[in-house]
C-alpha cells in the first residue's frame, strides 16, 4: 500500500486521532464534561439538600434513585448540551443564510450506537426500579406479621387514624421507630391521597376500597401528613402532623390514650 | 328558504350565489341561532317537579343548553347546509362552493364558515393566541396568589377554579397550537395540495372548537371548575353547576379533534403532490400527522369518560360511585388512556417544527430522516401503553406498576432518537441564530430537563414521593410549555412571513425570547425545589417552609408574563406594520416557500412535481 492510499483510507486508530484533533470535537468534549459536572453536582449536592429528612427505608430508596438517576443521566445530558453549546459558539451572524455545511444525511454507526447506549441506560433504570419495587413488596410480605396496623381515613378535609390492634383513635399519626407499619387507607367521600411526607410513601384514599402501603420508619422526628390529590374546597388545608417515637414513648402514648399495647 | 332548492350543479347559467342563503350567514347569525337554541333547550329541559326524582334538574338543563348552543351556532353559521342538500339529493352549487372558499371577501371571511385551509389556519392561530393569553393570565393570578405562604390573595374556591380553568384552557390550546394554525395553513401547501381533503370538515373542526370556548368561559358564572383539569370522579360528580361547562367543553372538543384528525390524516395520505413518496414528506408533516393520528383513538375515551360523568351527574347512573358498585378508578383509566397519548399529541408537532427549521438554518440536510420517523413512531406507539403510570399510587393494582414502569421508561429510547436528529443536524453546521433557531436550542434544554425529570417520575419508588407534588407540575410544564409551546412559537416566527406577508419584529422577538426562557427556568426551578421539599400541587395555601421556592417561582412567572406580552405586541404590531417579507426569507426548500403572498386560492398555478426530499442543503448535495 502506498502512502497515498493510506491518506485516503486511514486506519480506525488514525481516524480516531484525527477526530479528536478537530477543534469542534475538542470544544464539544470540553462542554460535555462541564455540563456532566453540573448534573453530578445537582444530584449529589442539591437533591439531598432540597428533600426533607430521610425517615424511612422508602424515603432512603427514593433519595437513592433521585441521586442515582441524576448521575446516570449526567453524561447523556452533558453530551446533548455539550454539542448544543458547541454549536452556539460556532454560530453564524448576519441577515443572509450561513454557508452550506457538509451534506451528511445520516451516519449508520452513530445512530446504532446512540440507540444501543440509550437502550442500555434505559435498561439500567428499569432494572433498578424493578429491584426496588420487588424489595419493597417482599419486605411488606415478610414483615406484615410484626407490623403496626394503622387505618387511615380521609374525609373532606381531615385525616384520622385508627390503631385497631391497640384500640386507639387519633388525629395525629404516631409511629414507633424501626417497626414496620402497614397503612390501610380509605376515604369517606371523594379521592384523597395519603402522604406522610418524610416517610416517602403515598397512596390514594378511595371510597369503599382499602388501599395498602407499607414502610419502616428509621428515624425519630416529626412527620407532615398531607393530601396529594385535589379533593375539593379545602384540599390545601387537609394536613396534620405526626411523630416517629421510640417504642417506649409510643407505648406510653397508646396507654395514655386508653389503648392497650400490642 | 327558497335558496336551498335553487338549482343543481348541472344547470346553466350558474346562479348568482348572492341569492344563496350561505351568503347571508356568518358568525353573527351563528351567535343568534346558538343563543336561541340554548335558551330553548334550557326551557325545554327546565327544572320540572314531575321528574324531580329521576334527574339532577339543574345539571340536565345546563348541559342541554350548552350542547344545543353548539348545534344552534353551527346551524346558524351554515355548517349543515351542505349535508341538508344531500338529504334532498342535491349539493352546493359550484359557485356556492367557490363563495364558501372566501376568495376576495377580505376580513369578512374570517367570520364565516370558510373552507379555505388558509383562512381556517388563521382562525386557529388567533383563537389559540386568545386562549393562551387567557390561560396565561390565569397562571399569573395563580402565581401571584402563591407569592407568599398562607393564601391570602385568592380564596380557596376561586383558587381551585383557577387551577382547573388554567389547566383545561391550556391543554385545549396546546393540543391545537401547532396542528391548528400550521397544520391547516402550511401543511397542505407543504405537501403540494390545493386544499385539505375535506374543506368543509376543516371549517367544521374550527367552528365546533369555537363553540366550546364560550361554554368553557360560562364555568366562571356557574361556580367554577373545582376539580383541576383532570376532573377526577367522584369529586366531579359532587361538584357544582360549573362542572357542566367542563363536561360540555370536552364533549364538543372531542368532536372537533376527531373531525380535524381525520381530515389531516386523509389529506396527508391522499393529497400529496406527484412524486412526494413517503420518504420525501417534510418532517413537520410526518410529526403533525402522527400527532393527530394518535389523537383519533385517544380522545374518544375522554369523551366516554365525560359522557359517564354527565350521566352520573344528571341521572345518578353511578359509573364512578362506589356506593352503587361504580369506581373512581374507571374514570382514572378512561381519562389517562386519553391523557398520556395526549401529551405526545401536544409534543410531537412542536419537535417536528424544530426538525423542519434546523436544516434551513444550518444549511445541512436533516440528520437521519429515518431515525426521526422511528422516534416519532416509537413514541406514538409506546404512548398508548403507559397510561397507568399516572395511577401508580392510586392503589388499583400495585402489581401492574412494574410493567407500566417498563413501558414508560422505554419511551426514553425513541425520545433519544429525536435528540439525535436535532443534534446531528446542527453538528458541524454554523447555526444562523434567527428567532426560530433560538427556539431549537431552548427546546433542547427544556426537553432534556423535562425528559430526565420524567424518568424520576416514571420510577415507582420515586413517584411514591413525587406524585401529586409541585415536582410533577414543573416536569410537565417543561415538556408542554418549555418544549411544545416553544416549538410552536419557533414555528410562528418561521412561518410568520408566509402567513402574514410580513417579517416578525426581531428586536421585540429576541427580547420576548430571553424574558420567557429565563423566566421559565427560574419559575420552574423554584417549582422543582418546592416539589422536592414536599409541597403538594393545587394548593391555595402552603407552609412557611416553602416560602423561598415559591417566591422564586412567582418572580420567574412575572418574567414569563412580561415576555409573552412583548411577544403578543410583536405579533400584532408586525402583522399590521411589519416589514414586507420576501417570498422565501430563510432560503428554505419546502413547497410553501415557492408560493407568493397572499397565497392564491388553490395555492399552486401548476401542480408541483417532487423529485427529492426538501433537505438537499449542503456541499455536494
Task: Report pLDDT digits (tens) over A123-153.
Answer: 999 999 999 888 888 888 888 788 999 999 9
Numbers of helices and strands, H then E, in chain A: 7, 10
Q: Is the pLDDT of residue B480 over 50?
A: yes
What does the longest C-alpha to C-alpha distance in chain A come to? 97
Give the CA distances from residue B228 to residues B172, B391, B476, in Å, rounded to whole numbers and listed in that order: 14, 16, 15
Confidence (pLDDT) at A8: 65
What residue of B is the nearest CA neighbor of A184?
Answer: B395
How far is it, in rounded angstroms, from Cα B176 to Cα B349?
10
Classify B275 in phi/psi space as left (phi over 0), alpha (psi -120 to 50) or beta: left
From B367, B417, B469, residue closest to A104, measured CB to CB: B367
B226, A233: Cβ pair inside 8 Å? yes
**Which residue of B319, B449, B536 to mutate against A (max A Cβ within 10 Å)?**
B536
Confidence (pLDDT) at A2: 46
A103, B618: Cβ pair inside 8 Å? yes
Please spell the DSSP secondary structure of B485-550, one letter per residue: IHHHHHHHHHHHHHHHSB---HHHHHHHHHHHHHHHHHHHHHHHHHHHHTPBSS-S---GGGHHHH
The mean pLDDT value of chain B amounts to 92
How far is it, in rounded angstroms, from Cα B191 to Cα A108?
28
How far is it, in rounded angstroms, from Cα B311 to Cα B316?
6
Give the CA distances from residue B493 to residues B60, B233, B594, in Å, rounded to whole numbers and listed in that order: 45, 41, 18
CB-CB contact of B450 with A89 (8 Å): no
User: What digits encode the pLDDT tens for the residues B70-106?
Assistant: 999 999 999 999 999 999 998 888 888 888 888 778 8
Alpha-helical (H) ranges within B193-327 are: 199-218, 235-238, 242-270, 283-315
Asked if residue B163 belongs to a domain, the reply is yes
From A76, A190, A209, residue closest to B235, measured CB to CB: A190
What residue of B is the nearest CA neighbor of A28?
Answer: B427
**Which residue of A35, A55, A87, A208 to mutate against B (max B Cβ within 10 Å)?**
A87
Residue entry with cell 400541587: B537
Burial of A21 from C-beta contacts in 10 A (0-12 / 13-18 / 19+): exposed
What residue of A is the nearest CA neighbor of B438?
Answer: A88
Buried b (16+ CB within 10 A) or exposed e, A158-179: bbbbbbeebebebeebbbbbee
A97, B156: Cβ pair inside 8 Å? no
Residues in chain A with CB shorter than 8 Å from the CB of B469 are 228
Q: Which of B573, B425, B218, B196 is nearest to A104 (CA)?
A: B425
Q: Which of A129, A222, A218, A61 is nearest to B392 (CA)?
A: A129
Q: Which three cell numbers stand for residue B602?
A: 388553490
Residue A92 carries which DSSP code?
Answer: B
A227, B160: Cβ pair inside 8 Å? no
Q: Is the pLDDT of residue B417 over 90?
A: yes
CB-CB contact of A175 with A242 (8 Å): yes
From A185, A201, A206, residue closest to B464, measured CB to CB: A201
Which CATH number characterizes residue B213's domain? 1.20.210.10
Q: Which of B27, B192, B211 is nearest to B119 (CA)?
A: B27
Please spell the DSSP secondary structure of A247-258, one letter per residue: HHHHHHHHHHTT
Chain B: nearest CA to A58, how far in angstroms? Answer: 7
pLDDT over 90 percentage in chain B: 82
B461, A62: Cβ pair inside 8 Å? yes
How far is it, in rounded angstroms, from Cα B20 to Cα B82?
12
A133, B540: Cβ pair inside 8 Å? no
* Structural domain boundaries, residue B542: 115-273+281-388+396-594
Buried b (16+ CB within 10 A) or exposed e, B521-531: bbbbbbbbbbb
Q: Is the pLDDT of residue B6 over 60?
A: no
Q: Point out the least confidently predicted range of A45-49, B248-252, B547-551.
A: A45-49
Tell me what the mean pLDDT of segment B297-302 comes to. Answer: 92
Q: Which three cell numbers stand for residue A161?
A: 387514624
* CA torsion, ordered B408, B411, B413, B416, to nearest 10 deg: -130
A99, B363: Cβ pair inside 8 Å? yes
CB-CB contact of B341 with B388 (8 Å): no
Q: Point out the least confidently predicted range of A75-79, B410-414, B617-621.
A: B617-621
CA of residue A77 relative to chain centroid, distance: 17
Asked if residue B43 belongs to a domain, the reply is no
B426, A111: Cβ pair inside 8 Å? no
User: What CATH class does A147-256 carry?
Assistant: mainly beta
A190, B238: Cβ pair inside 8 Å? yes
Domain boundaries of chain A, sorted by first residue: 3-90, 147-256
How far is it, in rounded angstroms, from Cα B562 to Cα B513?
10
A202, B464: Cβ pair inside 8 Å? yes
Asked if residue B468 belongs to a domain, the reply is yes
How far is it, in rounded angstroms, from Cα B220 to Cα B162?
9
From B235, B459, B617, residue closest to A125, measured CB to CB: B459
- Compute the residue count for chain A: 262
Q: Which of B425, B306, B436, B302 is nearest to B367 (CA)?
A: B425
Kindly give the pairing relationship between strand A181-187 and strand A148-155: parallel
Residue entry with cell 455545511: A101
Asked if residue B330 belongs to a domain, the reply is yes
Confidence (pLDDT) at B20: 81
Q: Which of B32, B45, B109 is nearest to B73 (CA)?
A: B32
User: What digits encode the pLDDT tens for the residues B107-165?
Assistant: 889 999 999 999 999 999 999 999 999 999 999 999 999 999 887 789 899 999 999 99
Residue that wins the pLDDT comparison between B18 and B518: B518
Asked if residue B359 belongs to a domain, the reply is yes
Confidence (pLDDT) at A7: 55
Confidence of residue B620 (pLDDT cuts 50, 70, 90): low
CA angle, corner A91, sides to A86 and A92, nearest 5?
A: 160
Q: Is the pLDDT of residue B446 over 60?
A: yes
Q: Is the pLDDT of residue B458 over 70?
A: yes
**Which residue of A23, A72, A107, A228 to mutate against B (max B Cβ within 10 Å)?**
A228
Q: Is the pLDDT of residue B409 over 70?
A: yes
What residue of B is the nearest CA neighbor of A56?
Answer: B465
**Which residue of A109, A113, A190, A240 to mutate against B (max B Cβ within 10 Å)?**
A190
Q: Which helix (H) or strand (E) covers residue A116, if one does?
A: helix A108-143
How far is it, in rounded angstroms, from Cα A89 to Cα A161?
60
Long-range CB contacts (within 8 A, 24+) of A137-145: A137/B398, A139/A57, A139/A180, A139/A214, A139/A216, A140/A180, A140/A182, A140/A214, A143/A180, A143/A214, A143/A216, A144/A180, A144/A182, A144/A214
Tell me what the mean pLDDT of segment B292-302 comes to. Answer: 92
CB-CB contact of A25 with A19 (8 Å): yes
A206, B328: Cβ pair inside 8 Å? yes
Buried b (16+ CB within 10 A) or exposed e, B467-505: bbbbbbbbbbbbbbbbbbbbbbbbbbbbbbbbbbbbbbb
Q: Point out the least confidently predicted range of A168-177, A209-218, B6-15, B193-202.
A: B6-15
B364, A101: Cβ pair inside 8 Å? yes
From A92, A118, A237, residue closest to B431, measured CB to CB: A92
Q: Which three cell numbers stand for residue B354?
A: 424544530
B412, A197: Cβ pair inside 8 Å? no
- How many CB atoms are closer than 10 A to CB A145? 7
Tell me what the mean pLDDT of segment B169-191 comes to. Answer: 95
Q: What is the pLDDT tens value at each position of chain A, 262 positions in all?
A: 445 554 567 788 888 888 888 888 999 999 999 999 999 998 888 888 888 989 999 999 999 999 999 999 999 999 999 999 999 999 998 888 898 989 899 999 999 999 999 999 999 999 999 998 888 888 888 887 889 999 999 999 999 999 999 999 999 999 999 999 999 999 999 999 999 999 999 999 999 999 999 999 999 999 999 999 999 999 999 999 999 999 999 999 999 998 888 7
Phi, psi (degrees; rounded to nearest 5) at B29:
-65, -35
Alpha-helical (H) ranges within B146-241 are: 156-176, 181-185, 187-190, 199-218, 235-238
Confidence (pLDDT) at B29: 95
Amino acid at each position: 500500500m502506498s502512502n497515498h492510499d493510506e491518506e485516503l483510507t486511514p486506519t480506525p486508530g488514525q481516524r480516531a486521532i484525527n477526530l479528536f484533533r478537530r477543534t469542534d470535537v475538542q470544544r464539544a468534549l470540553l462542554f460535555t464534561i462541564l455540563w456532566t459536572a453540573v448534573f453530578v453536582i445537582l444530584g449529589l449536592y442539591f437533591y439531598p439538600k432540597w428533600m426533607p429528612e430521610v425517615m424511612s427505608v422508602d424515603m432512603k430508596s427514593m433519595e437513592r434513585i433521585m441521586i442515582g438517576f441524576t448521575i446516570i443521566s449526567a453524561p447523556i445530558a452533558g453530551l446533548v448540551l455539550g454539542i448544543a453549546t458547541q454549536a452556539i459558539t460556532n454560530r453564524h451572524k448576519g441577515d443572509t443564510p450561513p454557508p452550506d455545511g457538509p451534506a451528511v444525511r445520516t451516519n449508520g454507526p452513530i445512530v446504532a450506537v446512540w440507540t444501543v447506549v440509550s437502550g442500555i441506560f434505559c435498561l439500567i433504570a428499569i432494572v433498578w426500579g424493578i429491584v426496588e419495587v420487588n424489595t419493597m413488596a417482599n419486605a411488606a410480605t415478610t414483615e406484615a406479621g410484626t407490623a403496626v396496623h394503622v387505618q387511615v381515613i380521609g374525609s373532606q378535609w381531615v385525616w384520622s387514624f385508627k390503631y385497631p390492634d391497640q384500640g386507639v383513635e387519633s388525629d395525629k399519626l404516631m409511629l414507633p421507630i424501626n417497626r414496620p407499619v402497614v397503612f390501610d387507607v380509605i376515604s369517606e367521600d371523594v379521592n384523597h391521597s395519603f402522604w406522610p411526607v418524610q416517610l416517602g410513601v403515598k397512596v390514594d384514599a378511595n371510597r369503599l376500597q382499602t388501599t395498602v402501603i407499607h414502610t419502616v420508619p428509621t428515624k425519630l422526628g416529626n412527620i407532615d401528613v398531607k393530601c396529594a390529590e385535589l379533593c375539593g374546597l379545602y384540599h390545601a388545608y387537609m394536613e396534620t402532623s405526626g411523630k416517629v417515637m421510640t417504642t417506649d414513648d409510643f407505648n406510653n402514648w397508646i396507654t395514655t390514650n386508653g389503648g392497650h399495647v400490642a | 328558504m327558497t335558496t336551498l332548492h335553487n338549482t343543481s350543479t348541472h344547470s346553466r347559467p350558474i346562479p348568482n350565489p348572492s341569492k344563496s342563503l350561505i351568503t347571508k350567514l356568518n358568525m353573527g347569525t351563528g351567535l343568534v341561532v346558538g343563543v336561541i337554541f340554548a335558551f330553548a333547550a334550557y326551557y325545554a329541559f327546565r327544572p320540572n317537579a314531575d321528574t324531580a326524582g329521576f334527574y339532577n334538574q339543574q345539571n340536565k338543563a345546563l348541559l342541554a343548553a350548552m350542547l344545543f348552543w353548539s348545534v344552534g351556532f353551527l346551524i346558524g353559521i351554515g355548517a349543515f347546509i351542505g349535508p341538508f342538500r344531500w338529504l334532498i339529493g342535491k349539493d352546493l352549487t359550484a359557485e356556492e362552493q367557490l363563495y364558501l372558499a372566501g376568495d376576495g371577501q377580505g376580513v369578512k371571511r374570517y367570520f364565516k364558515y370558510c373552507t379555505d385551509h388558509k383562512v381556517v389556519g388563521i382562525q386557529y392561530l388567533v383563537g389559540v393566541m386568545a386562549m393562551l393569553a387567557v390561560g396565561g393570565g390565569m397562571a399569573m393570578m395563580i402565581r401571584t396568589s402563591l407569592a407568599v405562604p398562607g393564601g391570602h390573595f385568592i380564596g380557596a374556591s376561586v383558587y381551585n377554579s383557577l387551577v382547573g380553568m388554567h389547566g383545561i384552557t391550556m391543554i385545549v390550546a396546546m393540543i391545537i397550537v401547532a396542528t391548528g394554525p400550521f397544520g391547516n395553513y402550511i401543511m397542505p401547501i407543504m405537501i403540494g395540495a390545493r386544499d385539505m381533503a375535506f374543506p368543509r370538515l376543516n371549517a367544521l373542526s374550527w367552528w365546533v372548537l369555537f363553540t366550546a370556548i364560550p361554554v368553557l368561559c360560562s364555568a366562571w358564572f356557574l361556580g367554577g371548575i373545582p376539580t383541576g383539569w383532570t376532573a377526577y370522579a367522584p369529586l366531579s360528580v359532587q361538584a357544582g353547576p360549573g362542572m357542566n361547562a367542563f363536561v360540555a367543553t370536552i364533549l364538543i372538543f372531542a368532536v372537533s379533534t376527531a373531525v380535524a384528525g381525520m381530515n389531516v390524516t386523509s389529506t396527508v395520505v391522499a393529497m400529496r403532490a406527484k412524486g412526494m413518496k413517503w420518504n420525501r414528506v417534510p418532517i413537520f408533516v410526518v410529526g403533525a400527522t402522527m400527532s393527530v393520528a394518535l389523537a383519533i383513538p385517544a380522545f374518544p375515551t375522554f369523551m366516554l369518560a365525560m359522557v359517564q360523568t354527565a350521566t352520573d351527574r344528571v341521572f345518578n347512573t353511578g359509573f364512578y360511585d362506589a356506593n352503587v358498585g361504580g369506581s373512581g378508578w374507571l374514570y382514572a383509566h378512561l381519562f389517562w388512556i386519553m391523557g398520556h397519548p395526549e401529551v405526545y399529541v401536544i409534543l410531537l408537532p412542536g419537535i417536528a417544527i424544530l426538525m423542519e427549521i434546523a436544516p434551513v438554518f444550518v444549511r445541512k440536510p436533516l440528520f437521519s430522516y429515518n431515525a426521526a420517523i422511528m422516534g416519532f413512531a416509537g413514541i406514538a406507539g409506546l404512548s398508548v401503553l403507559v397510561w397507568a403510570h399516572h395511577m401508580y399510587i392510586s392503589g388499583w393494582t400495585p402489581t401492574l406498576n412494574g410493567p407500566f414502569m417498563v413501558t414508560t421508561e422505554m419511551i426514553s429510547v425513541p425520545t433519544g432518537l429525536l435528540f439525535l436528529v436535532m443534534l446531528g443536524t446542527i453538528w458541524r453546521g454554523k447555526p444562523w441564530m434567527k428567532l426560530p433557531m433560538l427556539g431549537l436550542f431552548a427546546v433542547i434544554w427544556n426537553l432534556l430537563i423535562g425528559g430526565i425529570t420524567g424518568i424520576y417520575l416514571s420510577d415507582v419508588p420515586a413517584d411514591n414521593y413525587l406524585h401529586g407534588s409541585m415536582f410533577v407540575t414543573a416536569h410537565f410544564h417543561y415538556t408542554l410549555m418549555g418544549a411544545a409551546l416553544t416549538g410552536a412559537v419557533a414555528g410562528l416566527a418561521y412561518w410568520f412571513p408566509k402567513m402574514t406577508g410580513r417579517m416578525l419584529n426581531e428586536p421585540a422577538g429576541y427580547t420576548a425570547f430571553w424574558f420567557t426562557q429565563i423566566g421559565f427556568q427560574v419559575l420552574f426551578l423554584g417549582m422543582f425545589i418546592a416539589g422536592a421539599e414536599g409541597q403538594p400541587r393545587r394548593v391555595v395555601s402552603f407552609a412557611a417552609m416553602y416560602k423561598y421556592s415559591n417566591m422564586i417561582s412567582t418572580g420567574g412567572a412575572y418574567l414569563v408574563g412580561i415576555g409573552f406580552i412583548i411577544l403578543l405586541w410583536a405579533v400584532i404590531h408586525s402583522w399590521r406594520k411589519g416589514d414586507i417579507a420576501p417570498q422565501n426569507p430563510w432560503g428554505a426548500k419546502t413547497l410553501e416557500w415557492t408560493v407568493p403572498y397572499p397565497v392564491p386560492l388553490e395555492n399552486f398555478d401548476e401542480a408541483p412535481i417532487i423529485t427529492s426530499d426538501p433537505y438537499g442543503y449542503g456541499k455536494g448535495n
